[in-house]
Amino acid sequence: MLISVVLSFYNEEDNIPELVRRLRAVFNDRIGCDYELIFVNDDSTDRSLELLLEERTKRPDIRIINMSRNFGVSECVMAGLHKARGDGVVYMDADLQDPPELIEEMVRLWKEDKKTEVVYTTRTGRPGEHPFKMLLTKLGYQILQSTAHIDIKPNSGDFKLLSRRVVNEIVKLNEKRPFVRGLTTWVGFQQKQLFYQREERHSGKTKFPIYSWRVISNFLDSALISFSDVPLKLAFFIGSLACLVALILTAGVVYQYFVRTTLPGWSTLMVTMLMLGGGQFMIMGVLGLYLNAVFQESKRRPNYIIKDLVGFE
């Protein structure tokens, strides 16, 4: 049995030595199986790559994928899944908030039932996280649960074990702006849940603060729109509501006209603006989302470009 571990990272020089040490200890001292550590370098600008090359001279279990520029976490994970050779593939972050020691339990759950194709982890606690960030995260999961066509479990992030069969299905989905945790749910198959306590970040600062535009854009484009048509229906609802309000105001204008209390020109102008604005908002909202999705797919650009590989045959 071969287990591949895919780690997407950007500027993690403070975490890489400890991360490699703990991963090697898990496989050599606990699991005792063949493994490969696939580090996908999202164009880091610190000493991360240099440290990985040093670790590789000690033991050739490390493979490195260097991106041509910074593409993003999901794109790097997909690149790692394409290159992974394992019978089982674990993908996780490189900040050590997800303990590598949990891989032993993930492998055990996967092996004990041959029908299980995915083992996903759910966080029971997230020490060190700001309360406001936790509030926004909870709100995001609630929105996805109530609107998405798939069942995305709350607090279940990017720390999973996938069977070879699931990996083969996911890499077929040449989807723009991939939302990997959604795709692993979308492909189906029997999945097991594993609860754990998340740790504080080992060192450094997060690259994705919850209030950043990159996180918000990823939530809207990759998570919400990719797995839900509710935004389209919401745009239609808001536009329809604006038109309904305009009709009510029109009735009021007619009433005022007969009782001679209307202000000349004001009511007609407001009703016209509401009707036109509501109709335009509804139509532009619906068409805009569809056109953007079609535009992204029609360009046929690859999700990522690999600059070079280290350690791959």
Do 135 and 274 belong to one domain? no
User: Whole-angstrom Cα distance, residue 244 to residue 15?
Assistant: 57
**Residue 293 falls in which region: left (phi positive, over 0), alpha (psi -120 to 50) or beta:** alpha
Do 11 and 151 belong to one domain? yes
Do 188 and 109 belong to one domain? yes
Residues 6+ away with beta carbon under 8 Å from 6: 38, 40, 77, 80, 81, 84, 89, 90, 91, 92
Judge whether 258 lies within some domain: yes
Task: Tell me which of 154, 174, 208 is where a domain ends.
Answer: 208
User: Whole-angstrom Cα distance, residue 159 to residue 146?
Assistant: 23
| CA–CA–CA angle 88, 218, 225 (5° rounding) | 95
Do 89 and 200 belong to one domain? yes
pLDDT band for position 194 (cuts 50, 70, 90): confident
Do 136 and 166 belong to one domain? yes
Judge whether 224 lies within some domain: no
The residue segments making up the domain with residue 237 are 230-298
Do 266 and 181 belong to one domain? no
Which whole number is the average pLDDT over 88-98? 89
Do 124 and 13 belong to one domain? yes
Number of domains in the chain: 2
Adjacent-strand bridge partners of 88? 3, 163
Do 112 and 170 belong to one domain? yes
pLDDT band for position 221 (cuts 50, 70, 90): low
Do 107 and 191 belong to one domain? yes
Judge whether 225 lies within some domain: no
Tell me the per-residue pLDDT of 101-137, one tens digit each, with 9 for 90 and over: 999 999 999 988 888 899 988 887 665 555 655 566 6
Do 199 and 239 belong to one domain? no
Averaging pLDDT over each range in 143-147, 166-170, 287-291, which range is the top one? 166-170
Judge whether 223 lies within some domain: no
Q: What is the pTM of this model?
A: 0.71
CATH of the domain at 16: 3.90.550.10
- Residue 179 tokens read as 């939302």
User: Whole-angstrom Cα distance, residue 152 to residue 147?
Assistant: 10
Going by the DSSP 8-state scheme, the letter that residue 65 receives in this structure is E
Tell me the per-residue pLDDT of 280-312, one tens digit each, with 9 for 90 and over: 777 777 677 677 767 777 777 788 899 999 988
